[in-house]
Amino acid sequence: MGGLGTQAYWNDVETVAGATVTSGSLDLLVEGEQSYTWTALDLLNIAPGESTAKVLTLNNAGTTPFTVSITASATASVVALRDAMRVTVVPAGTVSQTSAVYPRAESCTGTASFGPAALTGSETTVLTESDVVDPWDSLTICVRLHLDLAADNSTKSSTYTPTFTITATQVAP
């Protein structure tokens, strides 16, 4: 029989390592903070026909662009006050003050994305697609509270507390 021998093939194995994939982040800050109490919107002794307006800054401290939606609700010591208070939300708006003394009058310049309307439930407004907040950028919103001129005597000496829940949602790739 012919020569039977062993057949061998050379081989070599190499390992490639070092690829790391790190996820980004989505981090909404309000006025630079994770949790914020908005006392700037406070107005004592508001009378029918008066209003206050303030600007709130939303910051993107993450690495992912996002859009913003705002859900607003309110509590009041009497239902009539809740129903008589009008809320307006204006993205990228600024405050315009026409009177600092009675009747106090402030408004928001720009186009409203919500209101003026009463917060009788949980109303949600989604700001427009152009209001994308890129990483390390910010968006301002102006909020106006106005006590309807038709507010009756049952609203006297009452308290009103609006709550704004702001949700950041990643922009679709």
Q: Is residue 16 part of a domain?
A: no
CA distance 64 to 2: 71
Q: Is residue 22 part of a domain?
A: no
Q: Is the pLDDT of residue 77 over 60?
A: yes
Q: Is residue 19 part of a domain?
A: no
- Return the pLDDT at 130: 65
CA distance 159 to 153: 14
Q: Quick one: 25 exposed, middle or buried, by C-beta within 10 A (0-12, 13-18, 19+)? A: exposed
Q: Is residue 10 part of a domain?
A: no
DSSP type of residue 155:
G
87 bridge partner residues: 117, 145
Q: Is residue 18 part of a domain?
A: no
How many structural domains is the chain composed of?
A: 1
- Return the pLDDT at 151: 95
Q: Is residue 115 part of a domain?
A: yes
CB half-sphere exposure, 111, CA atoms < 13 A: 3
Q: Is residue 21 part of a domain?
A: no
Q: Is residue 92 part of a domain?
A: yes
CA distance 137 to 142: 17
State the pTM of this model.
0.84
Span 28-35, average pLDDT: 93
The percent of residues above 90 in pLDDT, for the chain, comes to 63
Residues 6+ apart with CB under 8 A from 80: 151, 152, 154, 155, 158
Domain span at 143: 28-170
Q: Is the pLDDT of residue 111 over 80?
A: yes
Structure token digits, residue 13: 């194995």
